[in-house]
Amino acid sequence: MILLVGLGNPGKGYTDNRHNFGFMAVDEIIRRHSFSPERVKFQGLVSEGTINGQKILALKPTTYMNESGRSVSEAARFYKIAPSDILVIHDELDLPMGKVRVKTGGGHGGNNGIRSLISHIGEGFRRVRLGVGHPGEKSLVSGHVLKDFSKAEREIADKIIESTARHIDLLIDGNDANFMNKIALETAPPKPKTSDDNKEN
């Protein structure tokens, strides 16, 4: 079983925040792949489904971002899921808006949800890092992630969310590089035409 985790904060006031990028992506995966209706368990909302023949437990912790590790560790202990089979989708300050990177292990990068996960289950889980950009100063970080996407950012975010849900099977199969390539190809803005493009052959 794969434990698929989306990070965010519960409650209507947080729904469209940059910090809820992980929640948004998992919601679309649940919808697109016809998972079971969500139910309350493990201090979160859980839903079950199958992707590429692999059983998936989707989890959105409702502990608030800073205590996400409590919820994830509870689910992992119950199902005896190793950190290597835990896939966490979250917003990432160190990547510009529109960029997506997958990695295993490493530090928390200032994300308190990841910090909490590391303290509860260690560093060995996989992360799907969805870029939201950095506001430039550390003092502005909290306000940045707890604000809604701008209209232009939301258009980019929606493309990322849709593409992530479409190609989640590649991540489930461990094909991280191909997943990142697919996302980049589908979400990259069209290249502006150059003068050479307009020349007659």
For 25-38, write each residue's pLDDT tens digit.
Answer: 999 999 999 999 99
Question: Alpha helices, DSSP H only, in the chain?
Answer: 21-32, 68-79, 112-121, 141-145, 151-166, 168-172, 176-187
Report CA dihedral (40, 45, 49, 52) to the nearest 10 degrees. Answer: -150
Q: Looking at residue 200, what is its pLDDT?
A: 53
CATH topology of domain 2-198: Rossmann fold (3.40.50)
Residue 75, pLDDT above cutoff 60: yes
Average pLDDT of span 121-143: 93
pLDDT band at 197 (very low <50, low <70, confident <90, very high): low
Q: Is the Cβ–Cβ distance between 46 and 79 less than 8 Å?
A: no
More confident residue, 109 or 50: 50
Domain ranges, ordered by start, for the chain: 2-198
What proportion of the chain, given as a percentage, has pLDDT over 70?
Answer: 94
* Per-residue pLDDT at 84: 95
Query: Which amino acids are annotated catalytic?
Result: 19
